[in-house]
């Protein structure tokens, strides 16, 4: 029988994040040598990485960092909410965020290719994948710059880390206004800042759908241009931040609220885990 104790099992589990049965098997194979057992666990875990590549990582968290006039937002994914709320995963996400800030990452690809303690971030994730036993990935990264940056993180469940994250860049106004608009963005999920930011092919497709729908409804031919324009404007009102009805005052658009406060929106980023 291998020479190890219950304390050794506990220590190795805490160090690697592996399951109890896997730890015991590794210690048996290593004849109680903890260093060798750690290596065995890592090798076996890394073999499982390729098996997990096709699995869905739809849980996880969003983390944000603001330094002066620059904000960074990352989404780090895993497979289950059980792992998402674990200390090891949250610590890993914090490390990923710190690295994104350090290298000024603007996308996941550049962040994953950057070097952290002699390894690429992708290698660090692969190691975590091996020890935690789930597919772990960085799905998205955003970097937002402006005169002022407001951040907001929202928990959709009290026992989980933040699932929605927002960065809002603005000029003028005050911190309270920035925070309120960031909360609005979290709740109403705009996709662009202004209608000019909507791709032309998207607008054309919305016009086509609006016209075909109106014809199917039997609307008069003469009324089609007005109906189509109204429905396209409805699309803008739903997706364009400045044209959305403000969360705290539905009688006003966001752009009117900003103007009254002497403020101007400069940009935003919004992530929701898995969306």
Q: From the CB of residue 225, how many other CB atoms can be counted at a distance below 10 Å? A: 11
What is the extent of the structural domain holding 37?
6-52
pLDDT the model gives residue 46: 46
Taking only the tens of pLDDT, the chain with its 275 residues reads 567 888 888 887 766 656 667 778 888 888 888 888 887 776 665 444 444 455 556 899 999 999 999 999 999 999 888 889 999 999 999 999 999 999 999 999 999 999 998 999 999 998 888 777 788 999 999 999 999 999 999 999 999 999 999 999 999 999 999 999 999 999 999 999 999 999 999 999 999 999 999 898 898 899 998 999 999 999 999 999 999 999 999 999 999 999 999 999 999 999 999 88
Burial (CB count <10 Å: 0-12, 13-18, 19+), residue 56: exposed
Q: What is the CATH number of the domain that holds 48?
A: 1.10.8.10
Task: Give residue 274's region: left, alpha or beta (phi > 0; psi -120 to 50).
Answer: left
CA distances from 103 to 74, 116, 128, 261 (A): 13, 10, 21, 35
Q: Which residues contact 256 (CB under 8 A, 6 or more apart)?
A: 246
For residue 204, tell me if it sits in a domain: no
For residue 240, what is the DSSP state?
B
Cα separation of 132 and 134, whole Å?
A: 6
For residue 157, tell me if it sits in a domain: yes
pLDDT the model gives residue 118: 92
Rg (Cα) of the chain, in Å, rounded? 24
Residue 37's SS3 state is helix
The H helix count followed by the E strand count for the chain is 11, 10
Measured between alpha carbons, how far apart are the two ends of the chain, in Å? Answer: 50
Cα separation of 1 and 4, whole Å?
A: 9
For residue 143, tell me if it sits in a domain: yes
The pTM assigned to this predicted structure is 0.78
**Do both 105 and 81 map to the same domain?**
yes
pLDDT the model gives residue 260: 97
Q: What is the CATH number of the domain that holds 135?
A: 3.30.479.20
Six token digits for residue 9: 């099992």
């Amino acid at each position: 029988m291998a020479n190890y104790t219950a304390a050794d099992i506990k220590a190795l589990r805490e160090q690697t994040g592996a399951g109890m049965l896997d730890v015991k098997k590794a210690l048996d194979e290593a004849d109680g040598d903890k260093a060798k057992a750690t290596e065995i666990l890592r090798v076996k875990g890394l073999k499982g990485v390729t098996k997990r590549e096709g699995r869905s990582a739809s849980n996880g968290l969003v983390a944000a960092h603001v330094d002066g006039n620059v904000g960074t937002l990352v989404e780090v994914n895993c497979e289950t909410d059980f792992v998402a709320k674990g200390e090891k995963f949250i610590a890993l996400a914090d490390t990923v965020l710190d690295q994104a800030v350090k290298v000024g990452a603007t996308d996941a690809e550049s962040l994953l290719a950057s070097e952290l303690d002699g390894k690429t971030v992708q290698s660090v994730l692969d190691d975590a994948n091996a020890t935690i036993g789930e597919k772990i990935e960085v799905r998205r990264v955003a970097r937002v710059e402006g005169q002022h940056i407001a951040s907001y993180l929202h928990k959709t469940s009290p026992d989980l880390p933040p699932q929605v994250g927002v960065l809002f860049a603005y000029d003028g106004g005050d911190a309270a206004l920035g925070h309120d608009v960031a909360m609005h963005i979290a709740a109403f999920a705009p996709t662009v800042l202004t209608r000019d930011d909507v791709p032309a092919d998207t607008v054309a497709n919305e016009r086509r759908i609006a016209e075909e729908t109106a014809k199917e409804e039997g609307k008069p031919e003469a009324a089609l241009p007005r109906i189509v324009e109204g429905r396209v404007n409805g699309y803008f009102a739903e997706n364009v931040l400045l044209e959305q009805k403000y969360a705290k005052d539905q009688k006003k658009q966001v752009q009117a609220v900003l103007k009254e406060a002497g403020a101007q929106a400069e940009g935003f980023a919004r992530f929701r885990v898995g969306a």
